[in-house]
């Protein structure tokens, strides 16, 4: 009880007075103050194990991993320490080593914590994160499977599939993708990977078959990512063909594929991002009139959609003779807008300029959304 009263008194402290014209007290100063007070507590009461463990967590939060590890190891070395505390010390030692990037020691500590009776669910969650950060995607998927976290399990199976594709083992890579979709049919990562494989094979039939099936299974808010994957792959293909001076063959495939994809999109329910990406695909195929029509569709749905407005403006510059100073300003604006963070997390509001399947700030899965308005 004394420990909890001490903590309450620490966190009830009023912030330091702020003088006129000065900023607020930095958060890390408060953390250092708590560390100082807890250190004084453990000096006065060496048996206060809870205080030691809390102090270790604060050291880790401050990035002082070495001192955090020393605290756990000193507790583990105690002969008469309750096994419950020993298990917790091993678990938190594993977290320390994970933070430090020492995978083998983290793994050993987590396993020892489990052996001593620490929560299996907590250990499994830490092992899943450990294997994922270490790049052992197959084992990460296995741990997420134990947690019944099918979305995350499928995600790491797709990453393992990508590794196999990169080393030329396409047949085994496809098996991992099929397994991912069996576990989680709405895996946008797995469907996107299938589409990318189809583009590498230049199989319009296979791409369209996957796209139609994906549109049924993927959440409506994430379907635009399927089109983004196609567009990104076509751009990469075009770059590769230009480097090899084989543009003609590439152009015919692109036009055939875009025509087929547009026919699928026309059957979908009206959606601003479907219209927008349809316009981008038509631009990739060189169909300027089609781009104009699909951008107009997007702007009917949402007149303040900045990305569609930008594309429409660039198209107008291309189609009309404008004074050089106007063209210069438009090009400048277009270049600046490239740096806008187009995607946002619907949970915490984190913004990113590249696609993410798990938010780097709040760790939410599949929370990505396209920023329709710049006010968003």
Model pLDDT for residues 216-231, shown as the tens digit of each residue: 999 999 999 999 999 9
pLDDT computed for residue 218 by the predictor? 96
The percentage of the chain sitting over the pLDDT mark of 90, rounded to a whole number, equals 60
List the one residue out of 225, 228, 226, 221 whose CA is nearest residue 211.
226
Confidence of residue 245 (pLDDT cuts 50, 70, 90): low
Asked if residue 272 and residue 237 are part of one domain, the reply reads yes
Asked if residue 144 and residue 120 are part of one domain, the reply reads no
pLDDT computed for residue 48 by the predictor? 64
Asked if residue 299 and residue 163 are part of one domain, the reply reads yes
Asked if residue 312 and residue 190 are part of one domain, the reply reads yes
**Tens of pLDDT along 315-361?**
877 777 777 787 787 777 777 766 788 899 999 999 998 999 999 99
Asked if residue 130 and residue 142 are part of one domain, the reply reads no
**Tens of pLDDT along 292-312?**
999 999 999 888 898 888 888
**Tens of pLDDT along 40-49?**
544 545 566 7
pLDDT computed for residue 331 by the predictor? 75
Asked if residue 158 and residue 211 are part of one domain, the reply reads yes
Cα–Cα distance, 250 to 284 (Å, whole number): 11
**Tens of pLDDT along 70-113?**
888 988 988 888 999 899 999 999 999 999 999 999 999 999 99
pLDDT computed for residue 16 by the predictor? 41
Asked if residue 124 and residue 142 are part of one domain, the reply reads no
Token pair of 81 as six digits: 């320490």
Token pair of 298 as six digits: 């997007």
Comparing 21 with 193, which gets the higher pLDDT? 193
The percentage of the chain sitting over the pLDDT mark of 70, rounded to a whole number, equals 84
Asked if residue 182 and residue 100 are part of one domain, the reply reads no
pLDDT computed for residue 4 by the predictor? 42
Which CATH number characterizes residue 105's domain?
1.25.40.10
Rounded to an integer, the average pLDDT of 101-129 is 96
- 333 occurs within a structural domain: no
Comparing 18 with 314, which gets the higher pLDDT? 314
Model pTM score: 0.82
Domain boundary among 304, 320, 336: 320
- 244 occurs within a structural domain: yes
Cα–Cα distance, 180 to 297 (Å, whole number): 35
Rounded to an integer, the average pLDDT of 275-290 is 93
- 3 occurs within a structural domain: no
Radius of gyration of the chain (CA): 27
Asked if residue 153 and residue 62 are part of one domain, the reply reads no
pLDDT computed for residue 10 by the predictor? 37
- 150 occurs within a structural domain: yes
Domain boundary among 320, 347, 366: 320
Domain boundary among 100, 134, 168: 134
Cα–Cα distance, 294 to 300 (Å, whole number): 10
Asked if residue 295 and residue 174 are part of one domain, the reply reads yes
Q: Which domain holds residue 87?
A: 26-134
- 50 occurs within a structural domain: yes
Asked if residue 149 and residue 282 are part of one domain, the reply reads yes
- 375 occurs within a structural domain: no
Q: What is the domain count for the chain? A: 2
Asked if residue 164 and residue 75 are part of one domain, the reply reads no
- 86 occurs within a structural domain: yes
List the one residue out of 200, 108, 124, 113 whose CA is nearest residue 162.
200
Cα–Cα distance, 193 to 154 (Å, whole number): 12
Judge contact between 190 and 181, C-beta under 8 A: yes
- 281 occurs within a structural domain: yes
Instruction: Name the residue with tokens 């959304």.
Output: 369
Residue 165 pLDDT exceeds 50: yes
């Amino acid at each position: 009880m004394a420990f909890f009263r001490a903590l309450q008194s620490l966190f009830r402290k009023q912030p330091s007075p702020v003088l006129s014209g000065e900023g607020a007290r930095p958060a890390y100063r408060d953390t250092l103050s708590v560390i100082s007070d807890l250190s004084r507590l453990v000096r006065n009461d060496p048996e206060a194990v809870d205080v030691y463990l809390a102090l270790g967590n604060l050291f880790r939060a401050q990035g002082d991993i070495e001192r955090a590890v020393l605290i756990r190891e000193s507790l583990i070395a105690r002969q008469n320490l309750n096994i419950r505390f020993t298990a917790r010390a091993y678990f938190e030692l594993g977290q320390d080593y994970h933070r430090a990037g020492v995978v083998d020691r983290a793994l050993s500590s987590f396993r020892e914590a489990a052996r001593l009776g620490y929560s299996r669910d907590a250990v499994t969650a830490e092992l899943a994160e450990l294997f994922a950060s270490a790049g052992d995607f197959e084992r990460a998927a296995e741990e997420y499977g134990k947690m019944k976290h099918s979305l995350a399990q499928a995600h790491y199976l797709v990453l393992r599939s990508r590794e196999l594709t990169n080393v030329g083992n396409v047949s085994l890579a496809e098996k991992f993708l099929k397994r991912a979709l069996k576990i989680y049919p709405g895996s946008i990562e797995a469907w996107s990977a299938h589409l990318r494989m189809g583009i590498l094979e230049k199989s319009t039939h296979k791409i369209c078959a996957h796209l139609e099936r994906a549109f049924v299974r993927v959440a409506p808010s994430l379907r635009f990512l399927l089109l983004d994957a196609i567009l990104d792959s076509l751009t990469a293909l075009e770059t590769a063909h230009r480097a090899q001076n084989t543009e003609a063959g590439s152009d015919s495939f692109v036009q055939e594929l875009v025509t087929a994809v547009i026919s699928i999109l026309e059957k979908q329910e009206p959606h601003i991002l479907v219209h927008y990406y349809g316009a981008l695909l038509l631009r990739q195929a060189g169909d300027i009139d089609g781009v104009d029509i699909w951008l107009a569709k997007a702007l009917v749905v949402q007149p303040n959609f900045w990305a569609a407005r930008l594309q429409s403006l660039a198209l107008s510059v291309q189609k009309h003779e404008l004074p050089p100073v106007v063209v210069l300003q438009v090009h400048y604006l277009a270049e600046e807008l490239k740096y806008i963070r187009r995607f946002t997390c619907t949970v915490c509001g984190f913004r990113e300029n590249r696609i993410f399947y798990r938010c780097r700030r709040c760790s939410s899965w599949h929370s990505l959304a396209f920023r329709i308005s710049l006010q968003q």
